Amino acid sequence: MTTVPKTEATSPHPLAGKRMTGAEMVVQVLADEGVQTVFGYSGGAILPTYDAVFRYNDEHRNGSGREPLQIVVPANEQGAGFMAAGYARASGRVGVVLVTSGPGATNTVTPVRDSMADSIPIVVLCGQVPTAMIGTDAFQEAPVAAIMGPVAKHVLLVTDPFKLEASIRTAFEIARTGRPGPVVVDLPKDIQNWIGEFQGGGLLPFPGYRQRVEAVHDSVLTAAACKEFFALLGASQRPLVYAGGGVINAEASTALRRFVQRFGLPVTTTLMGIGAVDTTGPLAMQMLGMHGAAFANYAVEDCDFLIAIGARFDDRVAAVVERFAPRAQRIAHFDVDPAEIGKVKKTDWHHVGVLGRDLDTLTSWGGRHHPVQDFSTWHAELADLKRRYAFNYDRDSALIQPYHVIEEINRHTRGEAIITTGVGQHQMWAAQYFDFRHPRLWLTSGSMGTMGFGLPAAIGAQFARPDRLVIDIDGDGSLRMNIGDLETVTTYNLPVKVVVLNNYGDGMVKQWQRLFYKGRLSASDKSLHRKDFIKAAQADGFGYAVRLDRKADVPRVVQEFLEYPGPAFLEVIIDPDAGVYPMIGPGMAYDQMITGDFIPSRGSRPEPEAPPGTSMF
């Protein structure tokens, strides 16, 4: 969470009073907000702003020749949205998208909804037909406010040119404060062409929103609340922290690590919370939930005090709510959004506030007043769970197993690389078998589960973190969704590494069809498709493009691939029957977890059941 900025500048803007076009004002506000990279695709209704960017760069280019406001052009606008989201996820800064009206705007609906679902701050600036033509079905007109309103954190349609500057600034404020999210600004062409005096400051009046954000900021942990929390912890013998993506969005990972280390608390994370704690640590229980580690799910089954931090008890974690954490006598919940408290699971103690600050307050209070507890028996039980129910697979198979490939990549990256993914089996394998030493290294589409996310997100992440190795772990189905952005990688000479785990089909769908639909592979088998990914990568300029289909070659080829100095593409032909395990089927509880053939189960192995008609995929 970020505090609300002051509405009045402490000193006048150096350009205040200068006459500018609306488009020039938009660009100047972007510069004032510290924006260095914009992802977008041009078109008629946004041309004035693109021209203003060109002229701004021409005027402000320094001796190095670098453009101060770089525009990255993708294959289509959906790619731009995911690039901005990848940029935001990797850096914590607001990602910016600049697209035209009509199809340019509607192509960004999916990344806007994806960002809303995962609380990612992006600002989407859309061109629009002139104000006098809105509602006339003009060429490339779309009702952006009506379309985006249900899927964005907020939408602003600028019809008053005197509110243009304030609208852009307010969009950034709303995107980054409170619970982050996407904000869309609809910019009619005549507003962009309007000429007026630049104010250099000011925000739109959003008193209700600012009051809510300020209320959360002012909600500090009292000594009484700390005492209540530690009374619950003191009565516990098996506490477990359940951390979600809110920890990372709030930049609270350091505070969380101090808190759990001080009091010896084990941590399991959601898919979005991966990296909130070092996954290689002795008390890191890795990911819980539908495809979480068996040992993490067993820890949830066994804990007596569950501490949810920046997590929301979503269906992938707590599908059967009344049977989730069945032995937890008490549940505590920290969040920035009061709407999440008690929404799914009743809690015994909760606090809504600024996460990092409040965790530090709790750590400090506990350090002074709470006696050190001995959780050694619980720690030993967890260590035994991790040893007994570790991830595993058929290591003797003659076919290339996807887990083996990821383990080999991980042996080189050692938890320090940025990993992006598409959605499907490869996403879960990456979440399970990669190490992550820090936050903002794991970038994936969580709540929306959007195929095609991985490649453009990797591009955005590489612009945000040029110092990091960025690897897109993708599937043959997901890569096809935004495959045009292979060319974007080489156009900007980004050293992004792309891995395609090719099982000739939509692997996760096929797994469900095998388990729950008697093996009827309806529209999911792609074995007859003729796509040659290597030729595609070579055609788009990849200097390294290799197909790996022999198990004995895995170590050598992976090393070559990672050490290649520029963009690199690796297609791996994997076992088409490789599955994602563990797995908790829809409508099932943790004690019904399917662990597959190579991970032990501490109960009887349940037979897969047909999912109930109301279950979600």
The Cα–Cα gap between 460 and 474 comes to 16
DSSP 3: P
- Which alpha helices (DSSP H) does 264-419 contain, by range? 294-302, 355-369, 376-388, 402-413
Q: What separation in angstroms does the CA of 506 have from each of 404, 405, 476, 521?
A: 20, 19, 8, 10
Q: Given this model, what pLDDT does residue 66 score?
A: 80
Annotation says 427 is catalytic:
no
Angle at 231 between CA 228 and CA 235, to 5 degrees: 150
Active-site hit among 39, 172, 189, 345: 189
Nearest partner of 409 among 477, 502, 489, 471, judged by Cα: 471
Active-site hit among 451, 508, 583, 588: 508
Active-site hit among 77, 141, 165, 301: 77
Annotation says 322 is catalytic:
no
Is residue 40 within a helix (H) or strand (E), and if so which, with residue range? strand 37-41
Q: Given this model, what pLDDT does residue 468 score?
A: 98
Burial label, 502 (beta-carbon count in 10 A; 0-12, 13-18, 19+): buried
DSSP 525: B
Angle at 486 between CA 484 and CA 488, to 5 degrees: 85
Annotation says 535 is catalytic:
no
Question: Among residues of the chain, what percentage have pLDDT more than 70?
Answer: 96
Mean pLDDT by 10 residues, the chain (617 residues): 51 96 98 98 98 96 84 98 98 98 98 98 98 97 97 98 98 98 98 98 97 97 98 98 98 98 98 98 97 98 98 94 96 96 96 98 98 97 98 98 98 98 98 98 97 98 98 97 98 98 94 91 90 97 98 98 98 97 92 95 69 55
The Cα–Cα gap between 484 and 480 comes to 8
The Cα–Cα gap between 61 and 48 comes to 20
Residues 421-459: b if buried by 16+ CB within 10 A, e if exposed: bbbbbbbbbbbbbbbbbbbbbbbbbbbbbbbbbbbbbbb
pLDDT digits (tens, 9 = 90+) for 379-422: 999 999 999 999 999 999 999 999 999 999 999 999 999 999 99
CATH numbers and ranges of domains, the chain? 19-215 (3.40.50.970), 220-388 (3.40.50.1220), 402-573 (3.40.50.970)
DSSP 8: S
E-strand stretches of 440-598: 442-443, 470-475, 497-502, 544-548, 568-573
Annotation says 189 is catalytic:
yes
Angle at 161 between CA 157 and CA 167, to 5 degrees: 50
HEC string of 475-502 equals EHHHHHHCHHHHHHHHHCCCCCEEEEEE
Active-site hit among 36, 70, 140, 373: 140
The Cα–Cα gap between 402 and 91 comes to 29
Tokens of 496: 């992004």
The Cα–Cα gap between 96 and 87 comes to 9
Annotation says 54 is catalytic:
no
Nearest partner of 466 among 181, 174, 66, judged by Cα: 66
In this prediction the pTM is 0.96
